[in-house]
Amino acid sequence: MLDVNNFEYMKIGLASPDKIRSWSYGEVKKPETINYRTLKPEKEGLFCEKIFGPTKDWECHCGKYKRVRYKGVVCDRCGVEVTRAKVRRERMGHIELAAPVSHIWYFKGIPSRMGLVLDMSPRSLEEVIYFASYVVTDAGETPLEKKQLLSEKEYRNYREKYGQAFTAQMGAEAIKKLLAEIDLDKEVDFLKEELKSAQGQRRNRVIKRLEVLESFRNSGNFPDWMVLDVLPVIPPELRPMVQLDGGRFATSDLNDLYRRVINRNNRLKRLLDLGAPDIIVQNEKRMLQEAVDALIDNGRRGRPVTGPGNRPLKSLSHMLKGKQGRFRQNLLGKRVDYSGRSVIVVGPHLKMYQCGLPKEMALELFKPFVMKELVSKGLAHNIKSAKRKVERVHPEVWDVLEDVIREHPVLLNRAPTLHRLGIQAFEPTLVEGRAIRLHPLVCTAYNADFDGDQMAVHVPLSAEAQAEARLLMLAAQNILNPKDGKPVVTPSQDMVLGTYYLTMENKESTGEGKVFSNPNQAIAAYANDHVTLHARIAIPPTSLGKTSFTPEQINAPLMVTTVGKLIFNEILPPELPYINDPTKYNLQKQVPDKFFIFDKGTNVKEFLENLPEHEAVKKGYLGTIISECFRRFGTTQTSVILDDIKANGFKFSTQAGITVAVADIKTPEEKQQILADADAEVEVVQQQFRRGLITDNERYDRVISIWSKAKDRVTKVLMASLDKFNAINMMATSGARGNVSQITQLAGMRGLMANPSGRIIELPIKSNFREGLSVLEYFISTHGARKGLADTALRTADSGYLTRRLVDVAQDVIVREDDCGTDKGVEAMAIRDGKEIIEDLYDRLVGRYSFQTLRHPETDEVMVGRNELIDENLADEIIAAGIEKVTIRSVIGCRTHHGVCKKCYGRNLATGKNVDVGEAVGIIAAQSIGEPGTQLTMRTFHTGGVAGDDITQGLPRIQELFEARNPKGQAVITEIDGEVVDMREGKDRREVEIRGETESKVYQIPYGSRLKVAIGRKVDIGEELTEGSIDPKEMLKVRGMRGVQYYILQEVQKVYRMQGVEINDKHVEVMIRQMLRKVRVIDSGETDLLPGAYVEIHEFEEANKKVLWEGRQPAVARSVLLGITKASLETDSFLSAASFQETTRVLTDAAIKGKVDRLLGLKENVIIGKLVPAGTGMNRYRNIKLQHDLMPAEETVEQSLVEEGAGLEEVSK
């Protein structure tokens, strides 16, 4: 048996005729498939058992030998070897073709490889191959040229003129002869000479030819193998024929295509034997050529061959292509056993790491385990009776199932799996009913809700798989989101509402100003209705058992708080400060002094009169608390705290009895007046327009602005009029559900709507939902609603496709070493858009390594050493010192081949610790950028017809950046430093002149674009002269790699931050690195590189190092920026590229070049079924041997490993 895991690389090449014959187990001579009476395969036909093996295990065709004891015997009557039937999936046959036939991939592909080798145009090739023209293969003494095309008439004339002095042929035979006569070395040398002088189109052609000929020379493929003498026949089980219910047969299209080839081939043989006239033979040869073309790639040339109902037949190429092809359907995605799916319902009682599994489902999923356990416990005599017991559901089965399930995690997955948190592991608990129970806190990660969503369950079988599920995938471990390092399991909805209600303050409540000696007393008073949750009470700080009070605070006699806050603080660990005021200061340091009564004689009620009411705990603050807990206490304790917050939140949102009633929605009285004022203002504007004082555009803009202001005023009045305890208000303010704009629509006014093109309709909707809309208002508002739905549908598909391209380009970026020792750092500063800060320096520094030693600007003491990790505290210090630029290590400057190193990547955002070697950071980056893609808007809303405003935003902008396309609304940028000295009007455009130190440049500015510069303004190289987006390729030319890297990063962040989505820079950097990893060779010097070829930067440097060492001339190359699709197709791995897009083109190219796939990325390994070289699949983690007798190492091992060891033993026992 072949062990895939020992593969080092995989090579692809052209198959020689001898190779094809060596694969084959026999020649297929007849087009017959199976006998219609006996339904047994016909001899020498397409399903022949003699060639392909027996149809039944251990049984020959005629039935002379049956049973396994005859294994390996070849039957003397029917010639079938007795063996397993599955060899019919492996054994190939062949067809000996009566005439050579060209392979359509090499003749029809773009560029035509045959055409390049022979230096003939594809047009003339086609004429020769399909018998329309003769080609001279040997000119002899005549003035004809080799490879000259002759028509039928010319051929006859020359024959009469020169007799047999020259040879001219037709069809693939002629091409084969020409290909066989090529001397590769001579051609290559000749082309290299020509390259020195060639220019323009000619040069491009020479480069292309050189590339193909070099690949033939280096790969050991012969050019004449592009013409087939022998056709392989794939194993019959891969093109099956099955009997349908009605006795009819369904067959794979390939069988029809093979039948046409065999029929035509046999007819041609017969015609040749009979010595038929040339014209008939030629016609038959042409038909054979077309039949083989259709078999290999139906529809590539001419009309496709159709089956019944005019459906084009699926050829071999179609079997590989597209989403349903072999690569994507079978090799990259497989169906698995031990899985089930069901509807999910909420399981509020579950712990963070648990899920509820329906009993019946669990029994079916764990069936083999239960059977084994039944036998080993002696409850069943053998496996068969155990199986019967399980199937009949005997009562003792349930107890065994409980035992089996304990400590055996299962994986839950919700489609679409947009990021790695879409599959997590849980410990199952058995539940009644048929629905899976899901913990409410993991819903955010899955993006799940309980309106009928379904989820799939998978069972990890091997001990290793269980250990990985438990240690890496358990839901309690996945608290942070890999895209920004923020907690993903923050409480939401009811939990937030409950907590908010619990921590609210209210002066008017019963029990305001009471004093208690300890929390229990206060809670008892609350239970007996002497005090409410919201009343502010006083309590001695000593009784709280918290460690973080200052000495003055702990000695103060009393601290003000509420019963609700006491209850809330009970669930937080004692090491955290008492949370009295939802601020960062209170969470990280201590309670502010204003809550303490320091003098013993103070009257509590008077003290409270002067103390304003404080905010309650909102959703955002709960997130901050969880982040802090994670930072201080790690995963396990955080998940316990989360469960407590959940229980508390549910409890108090239930007790609060918050609900939505019509009475809660009160329209403010001032609304009518505001509307009347706005109407009057609009009337004034209309009057100005009628008198011709303003243009229509100005009128439109002013009307829009009047109504926007009116709506804002209504909102303001409405929010001021709402009571703090108004249910809807509480839901919105706490962040549980809804927002201010929705409240405005309910109780204020709906305001302005946009029409489908994004233009705002100037007629506002004055009513709100409480009052009801008029017919016209309702009609106007349907516009927006429909557009919203259409957009969402489109966006989902687009975002999915973007993720797929991102994954493909970055799938081989894996952390491969500890430190690459790079000499390139990247300057980090706040990212700005004009004056506005999009991402501050703090966010860009945390979790990165410093590239150089950083000193305090005033005291000159070292703040961060070289190659030291910058954590939150250091980042705070750097910001406080007023430093604005820090050079950090970045993936962009990493020198690791095929991956990145730990230092350049920095901290793993999902764990908050250093990244491990083997982490697949490329995939994580792709998921982090792709997953929020669904939240980005599709198109721009433009207010009015203002030119220049209409630049792309949202998802299309992200695609534009990553595909490195020329942007819409392109800005003109300057290529020199200098100052603007002149602006003049040209014929049809304006001209801007910039004078630098050495030269001046004049830029043409098209009309309609808005200038950003004025005369006398200093401009830097690469700065925009007009509004709009810069073309990244221009940027690369002008400002080099650094400039374009910073520009793309800044633009991507701009789009995401505008939508309120935070993504860490690292992820974008990984993508930018992949887009810039190739250079284009301009002059090959004396290296083996080809001019015009794309080469990996480090390959280029290696090649140059080699020549420089020998004192010869190095090559010259230019950096190129490839879009992600192009970069994926340019990857070294042909398996990865072929499974991405343009399968046939990639394979054609790879076969000619004899490419070798080193299996470095993830996709290649998944395709051949090997363990992926990331995570625990890396070699360095595979064959670990433990030596027990050695002394323990000097360094102390982190505690987590010890715990993991414990977990592993439990799993494997």
Which residues does the annotation place in the binding site? Answer: 60, 62, 75, 78, 449, 451, 453, 820, 894, 901, 904
How far is CA 228 from each of CA 28, 32, 172, 289, 627, rounded to the nearest angstrom? Answer: 16, 23, 9, 10, 66
The length of the chain, given as a count of residues: 1213
Q: What is the DSSP string of 374-413?
A: HHHTTSSSSHHHHHHHHHTT-HHHHHHHHHHHTT--EEEE
DSSP assigned state of 299: T
Sign of the torsion angle spanned by Cα atoms 697, 699, 703, 709:
positive
256: tokens are: 């029809």
Q: Where are the beta strands (DSSP E) in 416-518?
A: 423-431, 436-438, 454-458
What is the b/e burial string over 1100-1124, where b = at least 16 CB atoms within 10 angstroms of the residue's CB? beebbeebeeeeeebbebeebbbbb
Torsion of CA 513, 516, 520, 521, to 10 degrees: -100
Q: Which residues are annotated as a binding site for Zn(2+)?
A: 60, 62, 75, 78, 820, 894, 901, 904
Other CB atoms within a 10 A radius of the CB of residue 176 amount to 23
Calpha distance 292→305 (Å, rounded): 11
Contact indicator for 530, 511 with CB cutoff of 8 Å: yes
Sign of the torsion angle spanned by Cα atoms 839, 841, 843, 849:
positive
300: tokens are: 């590539």
Helix axes 1065-1075, 1032-1058, angle to 10 degrees: 160
User: Mapping DSSP to helix (H, G, I), strand (E, B) and coil, where does residue 904 land?
Assistant: helix
Q: What is the DSSP string of 1128-1148?
A: HHTSS-HHHHHTTS-HHHHHH
Calpha distance 970→909 (Å, rounded): 35
Query: Residue for token digits 């050493």?
Result: 865
Calpha distance 45→168 (Å, rounded): 37
| Closest listed residue to residue 809, CA positions, set 526, 1070, 1084, 1171 | 1070
Q: Which residues are annotated as a binding site for Mg(2+)?
A: 449, 451, 453
Q: What is the DSSP string of 822-859?
A: -S--EEE--EEETTEEEE-HHHHHTTEEBSS-EE-TTT
Calpha distance 89→68 (Å, rounded): 19
Any idea what the Cα angle at residue 299 is, between residues 297 and 304, rounded to 5°?
Answer: 120
How far is CA 830 from each of CA 325, 834, 890, rounded to the nearest angstrom? Answer: 46, 12, 16
Q: Which amino acid belongs to residue 1105?
A: K
Q: Long-range pairs for 323-327 at CB < 8 Å and ≥24 separation?
A: 325/1143, 327/1138, 327/1139, 327/1143, 327/1167
| Closest listed residue to residue 497, CA positions, set 646, 715, 372, 703 | 646
Q: How many Å is the Cα radius of gyration of the chain? A: 38
Calpha distance 235→537 (Å, rounded): 84
User: Mapping DSSP to helix (H, G, I), strand (E, B) and coil, where does residue 986 land?
Assistant: coil
Calpha distance 1024→948 (Å, rounded): 14
Provide the CA 616 distance to its chain's centre, in angstroms: 39
Contact indicator for 321, 412 with CB cutoff of 8 Å: no
Contact indicator for 179, 212 with CB cutoff of 8 Å: no
What is the b/e burial string over 1060-1091, where b = at least 16 CB atoms within 10 angstroms of the residue's CB? ebebbbbbbbbbbbbbbbbbebeebbebebbb
| Closest listed residue to residue 526, CA positions, set 567, 490, 497, 485 | 567
